[in-house]
Homo-oligomer: A and B are copies of this chain.
Amino acid sequence: MRQDYIQRTYNPKNTDLVAEYFIEAAKGFTLPEVANAVAGESSIDTWTDIKTLNPALAKRLKPHVFYIQGNIVKIAYNHELFEPGSVAQILSSIAGNILSMKMVKNIKLLDFHLPKLFVSSFLGPLFGIEGIRKVLKVPKRPLIGTIVKPKTGLTPKEHATVAYNSWLGGLDLVKDDENLTNQGFNPFKERVKQTLRARDIVEKATKERKAYMANITAGTTEEMIKRAEYVKSLGGRYVMVDIITSGWTALQSLRIANKKLKLILHGHRCMHSAITRNEKHGISMLAIAKLTRLVGFDQLHTGTIIGKMEGKRREILDIDYEMEHQNVEENNINRVLRQKWYDLKSLMPVASGGIQPCMIPELYANFGNDIIMQFGGGVHAHPDGTLAGASAAREALTATLKKIPLKEHAKNHPELMAALKKWG
């Protein structure tokens, strides 16, 4: 006989960690049976009764399944089950073996609520939205940027030229693509050197702050941090990491190194869809975003709603809200748990993937000011090239902020007109 962890009258303590799951039972099992087994497997139990349980500790540490409605199950865990400051250990518990159990047909971690002790055991973002705005001297409007395209295949010099034109045309940010790290045709150091040199020139010319997000994703933690140090040594203000393919333990190390480096950390989420895309199984993007804020990245891709990558409107807006606020209320319709962030700074959402300048009014309507809009092909596929594409984006943003229709604004801005002809 397994223990019985179901206690619908249980009221989670302020110190409990609460996890919310979507669960479908495998054939032959009821949902309460499976919820009970999941609660045990994710905490103190195994598939059969064991002789080694210390009854006092077992009583203190036992999980409580306190909510079962439809396919939604909420489990409260004693905080002692978790190691403060370790994303890996939290995931190994609440999103580990339980995803493999034969008793579950599908299971997805939808959200988790962390008590103060745990939130405060992480560093959180060093800059947050406010800090990023101070660095870039852009107090209110959305930030606009581009990914250097093609994704791979440019030399450092060509790369720096694309960046130069992007900034000069009016963009704030230029970033490497997720699969460009340190390849022979475009070595990391040479690329960073040339691109930051281009940045300095454009900053002088435009009197605007410009930033380059160099992709420091690397094989080892040490190499990743070395690349960040190199960026810093050349006056860079930003680095970017492919957070999912690199993994949480390396990210937490980078965040500690960043106490000294003081770089803005940009998180690219490529491969997240291996985990998040299935609606019934895996881990939600909301959970990934919360972990990213805990670790202490400053920016994170969360979706565009309207671009080339999958992502539902309501879910993306809930994620962005969670990243930007200090107090999140429970929402049983959207499956969001309450969460206080105890002064951990905010995490800037990034919309990236298949968007172009003519979408700016819609992006702004969806996301407001606190968003980074990143255009890749949407800049470099402009009929007149990158400079014109960047200019079209900046003008589209200016028009949008002034509530002028793009078509009207375009009359005096040929780059925007050309963009409208192609994409409008």
Contacts and interface: CB of A to CB of B under 8 A. Distances in A.
Interface of A: 41-54, 57-58, 61, 80-83, 85-89, 91-93, 95-97, 99-103, 148-155, 158, 162, 178-179, 181-185, 217-222, 224, 242, 245-253, 256, 268, 270-275, 277-278, 281-283, 308-311, 353-354, 356, 376-378, 380-382, 385-386
Nearest to A256: B220
A282 B275 CA distance: 7
A58 B96 contact: no
Interface of A (DSSP majority class): loop
How many copies the complex holds: the figure is: 2
Contacts of A93: 179
A234 B354 CA distance: 54
Contact of A87 (B43, B224, B245, B278): B245
B270 A92 contact: yes
A52 B88 contact: no
A152 B100 contact: no
Contacts of A154: 52, 54, 57
A382 B49 CA distance: 9
A150 B96 contact: no
B220 A253 contact: yes
Given A91-B245, A217-B249, 6 more contacts: A61-B185, A80-B185, A81-B183, A88-B245, A88-B247, A100-B311
Q: Pick the most buried of A150, A182, A256: most chain B CB atoms within 10 A of its CB.
A: A150
Contacts of A99: 271-274, 277
Contacts of A82: 183
